[in-house]
Amino acid sequence: MIAPSILSADFARLAEEISAVGGEPGKRADWLHVDVMDAHFVPNLTLGLPVVESILKTTDIPIDCHLMIDDPDRWAPGYAEAGAHNVTVHVEAAHDPVNLAKDLRAAGAKAGLAIKPGTNFDDYVEVLKHYDTLLVMSVEPGFGGQKFMAEVLDKARKARQLVDTGHLKLLVEIDGGINAETIEQAAEAGVDCFVAGSAVYNAEDPAQAIEALRATAAPAFAHARA
């Protein structure tokens, strides 16, 4: 799955940028990744619920909201109620991640849990039993265009092993520095869904970039599982 990040899109032409990745099969985004930052949990400010509500009216691509915010227990359910397909919160910010997952599901969304590069995956395996998505951050959250941190792939491998053995039932997603070179490494580690910002929106043809990324990831994922 390819989830273009609109953090790298032209916000002055956001509807057009979203349309550019919502076309024909094979070149169409599986999810549209929307980064919500509050300038508190991360040192950057992007957009909030009103913009997400507007995006939901313009596209039928499932919206993948990544909330890099303080107090997600309070604010995250609103994104689910608005119609986001997947709402991801950071375990470092959540007060009660198990209860929050239940609230997100009750509001109609898939529940996602994100972990920063320095966060220990093993500490949250039991919590992840309540989630639908694990978002492995392969950069420090807050800004686009950062260099991929290959060392986080150990977390993806552990998650994939737990999924394959039935201990977890979730989708493994990765976000940060994903491009034509790094997506193969991530796919081999067992990642299902790849957030790609610059690799899609800095390309001359975003739809073609999605097709190329998917074509690189799919055989690497299959080969690693064989």
Task: Tell me which of 38, 103, 132, 175 is the catalytic residue.
Answer: 175
Residue with tokens 């990765």: 174
Contact 19, 47 (CB under 8 A): no
- 8-state DSSP, 71: -
* Binding annotation: 5, 33, 35, 66, 142-145, 175-177, 197-198
SS (H, E, C) 4-43: EEHHHCCHHHHHHHHHCCCCCCCCCCCCEEEEEEECCCCC
What would you report as the CA-atom Rg of the chain, rounded to the nearest whole angstrom? 16
- Please state the residue numbers annotated as binding site for substrate: 5, 66, 142-145, 175-177, 197-198
Which residues are bridge partners to 87 per DSSP?
A: 65, 111
Binding positions for a divalent metal cation are: 33, 35, 66, 175
- 175 catalytic per annotation: yes
Q: Is residue 175 a contact partner of residue 192, using CB atoms and an 8 Å limit?
A: no
- Give SS3 for 89: strand
Catalytic site residue from 10, 35, 64, 70: 35
Render 175-223 in DSSP notation, one character per residue: ESS-STTHHHHHHHTT--EEEESHHHHTSSSHHHHHHHHHHHHHHHHHH
Mind telling me the catalytic residues?
35, 175
